Amino acid sequence: MADAEGRPAGGEDPPRARRAFTVVLGGHLITYLTGGALAAVLYYAIMITGLLVVGGTVPYLYVVVTAHFATVVIVYPWYRLVVFPASGDSWPRGYLRFYTVGLGFLACSLAGLPILAGWAGIPVLVAQAIIIVANLAVSHAVHRAWTFGKAPASGRGNGSPALRQRGRRTRDRDRASA
């Protein structure tokens, strides 16, 4: 059913709603994918350098662990300031959560690389790329919900000023449309 202007009855103009959704989600998605791309480039640069430096004297999984640790330390500020700017936790607590999630993905690499590279014969760097891509959606969901989610309701505030402002804008917009 539609109103006189061709819009669905009782709803917003679908193209307008889609545009708003795309702007909000698209901006965040772009920063997330940019952060992921930067992290992957950095990770690969560290990993390739490590593999070249140690040659075959050290197992490649040690290089993976080293590259992972260095990358997490370097990219956390980007995720904290740009990708998820409305985080409610302190920097150290946020970093510990970020690293905890990273340890889960490191475990995926440490388990998956021997299978893909050792048994399936896929080159290590290609196998690592497969693992990274396979983890993208899970990584985003966990970081958004837990790592950079709102601070727990412990009376210590309701997240950052940006998060509170976003909530006020949503509330005001809902009131205006009612």
Q: Identify the band that residue 1 occupies on the pLDDT scale cut at 50, 70 and 90.
A: very low
The predicted-structure confidence for 123-174, as pLDDT tens digits, reads as follows 999 999 999 888 877 776 776 777 677 544 443 433 444 444 555 555 555 5
Tokens of 85: 């700017």
The predicted-structure confidence for 4-32, as pLDDT tens digits, reads as follows 444 455 555 556 654 544 444 456 778 87
Q: Let me know how many helices (H) and strands (E) the chain has, helices first.
A: 5, 0
More confident residue, 100 or 114: 114
Average pLDDT, the chain: 75
- The predicted model scores a pTM of 0.64
As a whole number of angstroms, the distance between CA 150 and CA 88 comes to 5
CA atoms within 13 A on the CB side of 159: 17
Q: Residue 8: helix, strand or coil by DSSP? A: strand
